Structures are given as C-alpha cells and as structure tokens.
Structure 1
Amino acid sequence: MSELLNRRLTLLGEHSNLSLLEKCLHGIERECLRVTGEGRLAQTPHPEALGAALTNEQITTDYSESLLEFITPALSNPADTLDSLDKIHRFAYSKLGSEYIWSPSMPCPLPAEADIPIAYYGTSNIGKLKYVYRQGLALRYGKTMQCIAGIHYNFSLPEAIWPVLRQDANFDGDDRDFQSESYIGLIRNFRRYSWLLMYLFGASPALDASFLRGRSHQLEQFDAETLYLPYATSLRMSDLGYQSNAQADLTPCYNDLLTYTDSLRRAVATPYAPYVEIGTHKDGEWIQLNTNVLQIENEYYSTIRPKRVTYSGERPIQALVARGVQYVEVRCLDINPFLPVGIDLQQSRFIDAFILYCALHDSPQLANNECGNASSNFLTVVKEGRRPGLQLSRNDTTVDLKAWANEMLDTIRPICELLDASHGTNEHIKSLEVQRAKVADASLTPSAQVLAAMTEHKEGFTAFSLRQSQVHAEDFRSRPLSAEEQSRFETTARDSLAAQAELEQTEEKVDFDTFVGAYQASILAISN
C-alpha cells in the first residue's frame, strides 16, 4: 500500500470522519431495448403510459425510440438505488403489454438501418435538437452501434470529505479546485485500472451475427447466427462496439480539468472533413447539428466522465468550467443478463470500493506510454481477458493479469474494511472475496457464465437472451407495485406529458436554425 493511501485511510478511519463514507451518493442509469415476443426490435412508439421521454426524469429514451433508459435518483445507500431501479422496471412492465426488456447489452437481431427508429422528443426546439443530434449519430456511426445498451454508474464522494483529504495534500488552490483535481486524479487511476472491472463484470462475449452488417471481423462462429470470442469479457467495449475514426485522435488529457474541458471544446468547434462533405442539411432538412468532430460534448465515447449537474439550458462543459466536478459517471459496465436489473448490490459494493481506491490512491499524471498501455490493457481484457496466462503491460514490462488483479484486491481490501466499519456491515469484504474467487477461477465471471449457459442449453445468443428476458419479465410481473407506488409513477408520467405539451405551447418563438446557432455559440463563448 502506498504511503499516501495509508495516510488517507487512517484519516478517514478517525471517529469524526468515518461517517463521511456513508454519505457517498449512487445513481444508476440502465439502457434497455424494447423487443417483441420473438426477440426482435419493437417498432412501436415509446409508450405514452411511460410518460414523455423529453421530460420524465426517471424513464426516457436513449438513441432509439425502442431504447429505454431508466434513471434512479442519487441516493446514499446503493441498496435504495437498486430498489428504485427495480421499481422502475416493475412499473415499465405494467405498461409494456406483450413486449420485453432485452436482458443483455448487445442488441437483438436488428432490422435494416433505415428501419431502426430514432427517438422522438416532440416539436419544441430542444426536442428537435435532440432528434437532429441522433440523426447526426446515425450518419457518423450508423444506427446499429447506437442500439448497444449499458449500465452507467454515477458516484460522488460527499462534499465534506474534500476538506478532510486536503489536510494531507500540498495544494495551493481553493476547495472547489481541490475537489475537481481529485476527481480528475480518480479518472486517471480509473483509466489505469478499469481493465479489472471488465474482467470481473464484463458480460458480452457473444453477439448476433447480423450486428456486424457484413463487416470484416476476427470473431469465431458459435452457431449459424452467433459470433463470439472464447476468452472475451466485453465485446460491447471492444472495437466491435463503440468506435469512431473521427474520435481516434481525441484523447482528452486528464491532467487537470482545464485541459479536459479545452480538448472537448475544441472538438465541438473543429470541422472534420468527412462530416463537412456531408453537410448539415439534405433537401432543406437538418441531418446533423454541425460538421465538427463532435456535435456536442456528450458524443465523446469514454469509459468514465467527470460530471456536474447542469442548470436548465446549460451545457455540460459550461457546468464543469463554472462549478467544477461534482461526480463521476462510470460508463463501461455491461448489463449482466442473469440479473433482473442488470446489476446487483454485491457488484455495487465492489464498484464503490474500486472507485474509492481510484480516488484515494496516488495518481500521477499519465505519461505518454502509460496512456497507450492503459488503452491496450483495456482492449486486451475485453477481447481475451479470460485467456490463461494473459499478460498486461505495466511500467515498461509485462505482468500476469491474475497476479496484478490479486495485488489490486489486496490494496482495495482496507478500503472495503473502512466502508464496512462506516456502514456497520461486512458486505464490502464479502463482495471483495467474491471478486477474488473470479480471479482464481475465470469460469465464475459473467462472460464465462454466458457462454456456459448458451452451451448447456444448446442455444445461440438470441435464444439465450430472449429466455433471460422472459425470466426477468416473469419476475417483475409477479411483483406488481403497491397501489400507492403505481399511482406515483403514473402521476409522474402524466405530469411529464403535460410538461412537454406546455413547453411546446409556451416556449419563446425562435426558429430552429437560430436556436441551433445559439446552442453552438454557447460552447464557443466559454471562458476558462
């Protein structure tokens, strides 16, 4: 254990500080496709009974009209966060009729690109902007890639913890700057070590063959309709999933918040020749918001993001520049198809400890070769993380994945002990030991279990995924919400429909071209 980590754990273990760890906040966003009883993409509109996707804060859509997104509030107890997510699923199933929520991250067999419906958000200018942005994503990356689903895990340390940690830091700025710098340090460590999460929790070793749309690949044939890699953990996070030539040279520097926001600001203001050639209009209609490397900052694909809750009309970079980093959004987690909501409390406990490890451990700035090694290690693990004897790169040499993983788990253990002392449980240590067992025996990982289940049942990816979706649907439908809870969700849905209608009727009458121009100008006007 490093000297810095040891000092910080001692500091947080003091009686006056121990309760701070109970005040970390957890929020989860789960994306999930709506599918038919045959396991095909639902072509129906977003169910009105779920409310307006534009204005319902708990149930919205992501890229496609068929891609639901469930959003929990940020709560101090992850068990409450997961309970909130469970209730959203149960409410959704009360309104989905014969449709199912697809259980894994990789999509069901998809129709032709033209037949994948883009999410619709109504006739307000902001609703139109969200739609045009998604049209741009289709032009740039194709609709198929946008149908991949995942778990986003939002985590924040309590504001009161930063002055405590600052006591042990040689830092000249104010508390807000220390907090932001600490979160950026967390992100640097996350980049170094997130390969471990992919080994432990990756759950997408196979996919429907039609997903590739005839592209060349190096996958193996599982059956006539399924492709896979025998040692893969997460094809979702490989170059078969999220990928972008335009973003290949965009690696925001995580040395400090300023350089991070500057790199994204340049990307949303710098034309990219292939997009310029396409243009922003076709036949007089908008087809993308602009021709820059990124249309908006959220287009940047990353495994983790620094975040700040935005005010109405405020852009993410504006919020970060104005008020600093408030929390991180972990974006690399696969949906576990064996779990009803795709994640469970045991996993959440370990992720908390892992994020705290990244936050409290030494985090020097990333050297040039270290950036490359971090990316290489991550991609190696998502494609062949369970390969026996797999070697990763560390400090200009190679190291056995299992040896490095066990070293990290040894270092994370005192953090689990501290969390358990704070919460009065032993659940974090128990979760750590479950992860240690996966390191010792790769067959215990979700990715291995997916392939084992497919083999046992003699079924391909689609049949396995539909079967799991049906199992979870039966579970949710067998546990209807109480009348009070059901009424609360229905009221929220009705209120969101009314809010969208009011927005469309009362918003300032500005033509859409002017609205987009003002939106683009807002990012250019930011001053650090």
Structure 2
Amino acid sequence: MTLSLNDYIGAFSQHDNLSALTGIGRGIEREALRVLPEGKLSTHGHYHQLGSALTHEQITTDYAESLLEFITPVSHSPEQTIAQLQDIQKFTFENIEGEWLWPMSMPCFVSDADTIELAQYGSSNIGTMKTVYRQGLKNRYGSMMQVIAGIHFNFSFSHDFWTLQQSLHENTQPLDEFISEGYFSILRNYKRFCWLIPYLYGSSPVICRSFLQGRETSLPFKQTPFGALYLEHATSLRMSDLGYTSSEQSSLKICYNNLADYVEAVQQAIKLKSNDFAEIGVKVDGKYQQLNDNVLQIENELYAPIRPKRVAKSGEKPSQALGKRGVEYIEVRALDVNPFVETGISIEQVYFLDVFLTFCAFAGDHELDCESQRVNEKNMHEVVLRGRDPALLLADINTDGVSTEKSVKQWGNELFEQMQQVATLLDQAYHSTKYTEAVTREWAKITDSNLTPSAQILAIVQEQKLTDYSLAQAKKYQEQAIQRDYQFYSQEHFIESAKQSHIERQAIENEDTLNFDDFLEHYFNK
C-alpha cells in the first residue's frame, strides 16, 4: 500500500498516534584533531589518561593517533546528547596537557604527511588489525585524506513508530523485516535529497595549502590574501574528490533497494580484487602494507554519505549483523564539523536532522536504479564544489524516471515546504516549537546563500588567516569546556572508564592464541 506525505501527516497527527513520533534515538560521533597552540599537528601519542583507544566506549581515535573520536550513547533527548558530548570534550581537554582541538573538518598545517602517526591499539591481534587497516588507507589514499574530520549522526525511530507504520501499510510480514525495508526507503530518499546537507552545513570551502602536499589538482582554486586555497562557490571540500571519496569504489554497484542485495553487494566488494591496490603488496619484507588487495579491505572502507547499521556482536562483521538481525539505525555521514560551535554540531542541527530524516521516511518508497544513483551522486558532487553558484542546476528524477532540472533555490523551496509540515507534526508530538524554528532557520539559507556556513567561512578568511581564526576558536572552546561544570557525567565516571578500558585491552591481549597471520586468515574466512 502506497502512502503519500499527506497520508502520513494525517495519520500521525491523530491524537492517539502522535506519541509514536516520540522516542527518536540519537547518537553523535565527533572527530577532532589534537593540535598544539601554535597550530601544528600534535605528535604526542594517545594520552593514557583518556583510556585505551581499543576498548573505551566514548573516547577513541580514528585514522591517526592525533585524530580523536568522541562517541555518545543512544539518547532520546537532543539536549542530553549535546551535554554528553560537552562532558566528553571537557574531560579530554583536562587531560591532553594544553593541546587544543582543531575546530575544522579540513586539517591544520601539516608540513609532511609522512609524519602523521597511524593510530595504535596495542599488541592484540584485533588491535594490530586496526593499525594495519590504517596502513592500508595510507598506502591507498594518502595520509592527508585520513586526517579530515567529520560528524556522524546516528538516528533511529521508536518501536511504536514502526508498528504504526506497518499498520498503516496493512503489512503482515515480520516486523524486523518491515523495519529494515523502512530504513532502506529512508536511505534511498536521503540519497536523493542529501545534496541539501552540504549546502546547509558544509563548512569546508577552503583548505590550507599544505593539504595538497605538492599534488596537482584540476580544481580552479583561488587564493585568499593570506595564502589559503578556496573555491568560490564550494560548500564542502571534505565531501569532494579531495576528501572522503574513492575512485576505486566508483565501480561498486552497492544496491540500496533492499537489505539482502545490499549485504550481498558489500560482502562481494570485500572479495573483489583491485589491480591498483595489488601493486602495493600485502605483506612486503615481512611487514603488512594493507590487510588485503581487495577494493575494500574491510566494510568500514566503504565511503558513503549514509549507512544502514546494526550493533555487531564480538567478532561479527557489520554486514553479518545486518543480515542476521536487520537494520537497527542509520548513520548520516555527510556532516562537516561545525566550526561555530564547540561540539562540532549544534543542537539546532540535531532538530533539523530529525525533521529531514522523518521527511525521508514519509517521502514515498521509490526504488533506485543505477541511473538514478548516478544522478544523485552527480548532484552531491556539484553541490560540494559549487553549491552556492546561482547558475547551478540539479537533476530531480521523479517516480516515473523523468528528470527535471532545478536550481538549488527552486528545489530547496519545494523540499522546505514539505518539511515544514513534518516540523509542525514533530512539534505537536514533542509539545515544542524547536522543530519549526529549526526549519525556518535553515530555510533562510535557501533564500540567501550568504547565510550558509561555507559563505561565512569564506568571508572570514578574506579578512584573516585561516589558521589564526581556527586557533582562536579552538582556544575559546577549550576555555569554555574547562570552565563549565559536568552536566551528565562526572570526572569520576571518565577516570573509572579509562581504567576499565586499559584492563579490557590487557585482557584481550592476554587471550590471543593465534599469530597475526592465522588470525587474519580466520577473520576473512569466517
């Protein structure tokens, strides 16, 4: 049974059904480079007092030792989620010996990419595997790409939401299967409309010249009066070919039409050989250069603006968890670090993302063929490089496969008119005005591109050095965090969590029985 946006609005706005919209689950993963006050990348290892990067649930590292990652647990309150992130950062600031957190997505000045130390996770097989995986990323894409920071936003609807959805659709299949289909419908609509995310929130139109490390680029960069490089209408260079993309993965046909095909495609991609990566070698002179020479070493290497997710059990691959138990939540990955707030993501963004993803759940269930996926990806590519260009036209493919050219302003206004209805519905459910306020705030950026963060950043770097501005923000955020009291957690919580994480890391190392070669063979054959 096919339902329209108006059908959903009408059904969920009924008094007995409004509560099904509450209980949205959210979590944030925030990446941030540790830097010295003079603006250089920190060369200090992961601080022991922060805990083990392998086993700590809230403070870990991403690609490099200096690239921290903060993780909040699932929360049903945007205010609580932000407070948790602030507490994690407060404890971090108190234990990194005067270092700061770089408030931008694109990295600070790096004189030599080879000096970026890979993240270390101890001597266990799983810890070694994580470091070797990063060695592979370095050899495949270069270190500079891997010290780009971003925000991942994890989102889930309540059980009641899906139960009501199933009833509205008069669907009789097992609920977990219906839920997975529902999330995949959201994924497809997100991919169709996700160009809106870098337009609204892209904050990386400019890079430090050192980011190129002497490489040639065909991008028509201009130079600020202080030497930084920028594209006049860019929104998110992080999401461009300079950042988190992989030309080698462009040949993969990852299907988002259903769970089974998606899992099969991902698992096949892990086995697909790459001629280019084979030239690197796997184990060279007794040292691993990558985990394997496939297009994907492991599933985490699949770069996508959104992913279906399920918490995996110990030793379980992500696709195995999805295949066995279905989709549990979705992970939005197209967000730049917001340099205008200390947490890298504002509470207003959280409210808008609630609206946007709920809209994607109500926007109809349309399958994506290869041509539609190609068009969606081209729209995204155009917006990250020239999203504020008034002459830019995007291609909107309707359910009949007919493509219509639309400007950002035209298409954006169409989407916001619909999202405004969703925001009103969420405000009714939550007894709030914050959702409509969030939509009004973002809608203004469609009318005036100068309000976008990318435009604001470009205005700033015409007046001062990118590094000077970034360090001033970093210093301010550190001072604010240290002066603020803990809100949700306590200092004792983090001290105890750090101690426990070191105990758990040691236990993992003590339990290893296989050598690393046999461990890898077992892992990939399992």
TM-score in terms of structure 2 length = 0.96
Q: Which moved more, 1:29-38 or 1:286-295?
A: 286-295
Change in Cα spacing, 1:482 to 1:77, as seen in structure 2 (3 Å) is: closer
8 Å contact kept, 2:80–2:488 = no
Query: Aligned-pair distance for 1:151?
Result: 0.4
1:171 deviates by 4.5
Q: Which residue of 2 aligns with 1:472?
A: 477
Deviation per CA, 1:456-497, whole angstroms, max 9, x where unpaired? xx3232222112111211211222437971111111111111
Which residue matches 1:490? Answer: 495
Within the candidate set 246, 249, 254, 1:247 is matched to: 249
The reply on whether 1:423 has 2:392 as its aligned counterpart is no
Q: Secondary structure at the match of 1:27?
A: strand
- Aligned match for 2:408, one of 394, 401, 413: 401
Q: Which amino acid aligns with 1:514?
A: D
8 Å CA contact retained: 2:87, 2:487? no
* Residue 123 of structure 1: how far off its partner (Å): 0.6
Alignment of 1:10-409 (within 5 A): 10-169=10-169, 171=171, 173-217=173-217, 218=219, 219-223=221-225, 225-395=227-397, 396-409=403-416
Given that 2:226 and 2:464 are in contact with CA atoms closer than 8 Å, whether structure 1 keeps it comes out as no
SS in 1 for 2:27: strand
CA distance in 1, matches of 2:83, 2:363: 31
Deviation at 1:422, TM superposition (A): 1.0
Question: Measured at CA, do residues 111 and 494 of structure 1 come closer, stay the same or move farther in structure 2, by a change above 3 Å?
Answer: farther
Take 2:180 and 2:411, find their aligned partners in 1: how far apart are those partners? 29
1:453 partnered with 2:460: yes
1:517 lines up with 2:517 in the alignment: no
Name the CA distance, whole Å, in 2 between partners of 1:385 and 1:419.
Answer: 29
1:96 match: secondary structure: coil
Query: What is the Cα deviation at residue 28 of structure 1?
Result: 0.1
| 1:525 match | none
2:20 and 2:164 in contact (8 A); partners too: no
Partner of 1:398, secondary structure, is strand
Kindly provide the amino acid, as one letter, of the partner of residue 498 in structure 1.
I
Between the aligned partners of 2:187 and 2:105, the Cα distance in structure 1 is 24
**Counterpart-to-counterpart distance in 1, 2:202 and 2:98:** 29
Identical pairs, percent: 42
Deviations 1:138-174 (A, max 9, x none): 1111111000000000000112221211123265632
Note the alpha carbon deviations across 1:433-453, whole angstroms, 9 max, x for none.
001111111111111111122
CA displacement at 1:13 relative to structure 2: 2.0
Mapping of residues 495-506 of structure 1, within 5 Å: 495-505=500-510
Amino acid at match of 2:174: D
CA deviations over 1:286-341 (Å, ceiling 9, x no partner): 22111111010110100000000111111100000000001000001001111110
Give the letter aligned to residue 423 of structure 2. C
1:466 to 1:389, Cα distance in 2 relative to 1, 3 A:
same
- Closer/same/farther in 2, CA of residues 29 and 483 from structure 1, 3 Å limit: closer
Alpha-carbon distance between aligned partners in 2 of 1:214 and 1:325, rounded to the nearest angstrom: 43
Partner amino acid, structure 2, of 1:50: L
| Distance across 2 between alignment mates of 1:393 and 1:124 | 49
Q: Partners of 1:200 and 1:379 in 2: how far apart? A: 15
Number of equivalences? 518
User: Does the 8 A contact of 2:112 with 2:213 survive in 1?
Assistant: no
Matches of 1:406 and 1:484 in 2, distance apart?
A: 41
User: 3-state DSSP class of the match of 2:177?
Assistant: helix
Q: How far did 1:390 drift?
A: 2.5
CA distance in 1, matches of 2:368, 2:507: 49
Change over 3 Å in CA distance of 1:423–1:278 after alignment to 2 = same
Equivalent-residue separation in structure 1 for 2:94 and 2:486 (angstroms)? 9
Point out where structure 2 has 5 or more consecutive residues left out of the alignment: 398-402
Checking the alignment, whether the CA contact within 8 Å between 1:389 and 1:401 is kept in structure 2 is no
Counterparts of 1:461 and 1:311, CA distance in 2: 43
> 1:526 is matched with which residue?
none
Equivalence for 2:400: none
Most deviating of 192-201 and 239-248: 239-248
Q: 1:3 to 1:180 in 2, by over 3 A?
A: closer
The 1:170–1:249 alpha-carbon spacing in structure 2 relative to 1, beyond 3 Å, is farther
Distance of 1:484 and 1:145 partners within structure 2: 33
Indicate if the aligned counterparts of 1:154 and 1:330 stay in contact, CA closer than 8 A. yes
> 2:87·2:488 contact (CA, 8 Å) conserved in 1?
no
1:248 aligned counterpart, secondary structure: helix
Q: Aligned with 1:247: secondary structure?
A: helix
Q: What SS does the aligned partner of 1:122 have?
A: coil
Please give the alpha-carbon distance, in whole angstroms, between the structure 2 residues aligned to 1:264 and 1:225.
Answer: 42
Partners of 2:458 and 2:379 lie apart in 1 by 23
Does 174-183 or 349-358 show the bigger shift?
Answer: 174-183
CA contact (8 A) 1:308 1:316 kept: yes
Output the CA distance in 2 between the equivalents of 1:311 and 1:329.
18
For the 8 Å contact 1:210–1:225, the answer to whether it is kept is: no
